[in-house]
Amino acid sequence: MTPIKECLINKKTNITPIWLMRQAGRYLPEFREIRKVNTNFIDLCLNPILSEEITLQPINRFGFDAAIIFSDILMLPYGLGQNVEFKKNLGPNLGKINLDNLLIIDENEFTKKLSPIYELLKNLNRNNKLKNKDLIGFVGAPWTLLVYMINRLSPKNGLSEEFFKDLKLIENLLMILDKFIKIHIKNQINSGATMIQIFDSWAGLIKNNYDEYLYNPTSSLVEYTKSLGVPVICFPRGISDYTKFCEIVKPSMVNIDYNVNPKTLIDKIDVPVQGGLDPKVLLTDKDNLKSEVTKYLEVFRDHPYVFNLGHGILPETQIQMVEDLVKIVRNYK
Ligand code: CP3
């Protein structure tokens, strides 16, 4: 059994498994090499040879306990026919949506468009490099995908009233997203994903309507993934009440963000926990890293815990700090 599964199933806590969100990315010189000559990000995600290489880069370097496939949550709107581009210094930039077109997309067409992602998973399973490691597939949560599909840019400055002006569109999109996110989860599992993570990066922007935008749509995906016999990790970044979220949604494990105080959470949570460390700590120094990492390890000493960050690793992170991080976690007794 993989270390993470052991942690989830046996609730065993004498070793702490570790992997990092965005571990396959720009902080790695070997990733930047590939990226330099592959300027179209979507094409890179649809290239199973290169995306396999990128997925394995952090595994080869640091020996993490899980590989997360090199892909993006925005491959789903791409699969639905929405134009998706990544522009330097701007981030994702999506095209206008056409609801009539979205309503007639069928499962085969969608699966065919995203087939290189499923091929990537099959190839990773074929080679033996992931022995005793999990292979994590992922999706964006309906709310976060809705935000990108309607806002068409990262909502860095929040959402305007304008966002909610067409409630019928929102309702239709949530229905379409539930259907196709499930198809994407099923396809990833059938291709060899041993675990699914649901990224709800903009959950913190939900002000009311928690049932409609957070609890109901996420519960639907959690139940579905569990019904396929695969554990599911939720990352509802920025919400104020992780305890309530876990009681309602019942994920196999929850990834906390760096604003959560682990000390006050620990007494109120009974699902396994992942993550928490502020990625900015990796931009400081080794002594500070050690004391911050140890805080999490101590608090979760008797609780099933997978080491990870409270959001993705930052592009400016030094390799040495990641090496130190892995050592600190592996040597903790
Ligand atoms: O290593 C891994 O975690 C696997 C790959 C992965 C990527 N994106 C690759 C990527 C994963 C799991 C994601 C998830 C993702 N994508 C999320 C949820 C997690 C989070 O960070 O909140 C979101 C919101 C996206 C959408 C997205 N993709 C944004 C906002 C950006 C641009 C932001 C930025 O950092 O510039 C991307 C691009 C992206 N996705 C990169 C990578 C490695 C950077 C691409 C580049 O080289 O320019």
What spacing in Å lies between the alpha carbon of 72 and ligand 1's midpoint? 6
Q: Write out residues with Cβ below 6 Å of ligand 1.
A: 21-26, 35, 41, 68, 70-74, 86, 91-92, 138, 154, 199, 201, 312
pTM (whole model) above 0.85: yes
| Closest C-alpha to 273, from 240, 295, 251 | 251
Pocket test for ligand 1, best of 64, 70, 73, 156 (most atoms within 8 A of CB): 73
Instruction: State how far the Cα of 169 lies from the Cα of 174, in Å rounded to an integer.
Output: 9
What spacing in Å lies between the alpha carbon of 276 and ligand 1's midpoint? 18
Q: Find out if CATH 3.40.50.300 is the number for domain 3-331.
A: no
* Structural domain spans, the chain: 3-331
Measure Cα distances from 301 to 247, 277, 310 in Å: 22, 15, 18
Instruction: State how far the Cα of 69 lies from the Cα of 62, in Å rounded to an integer.
Output: 16
pLDDT in tens, the chain (333 residues): 999 999 998 776 678 999 999 999 999 999 999 999 999 999 999 999 999 999 999 999 999 999 999 999 999 999 999 999 998 888 999 999 999 999 999 999 999 999 999 999 999 998 777 999 999 999 999 999 999 999 999 998 899 889 999 999 999 999 999 999 999 999 999 999 999 999 999 999 999 899 999 999 999 999 999 999 999 999 999 999 999 999 999 999 999 999 999 999 999 999 999 999 999 999 999 999 999 999 999 999 999 999 999 999 999 999 999 999 999 999 998
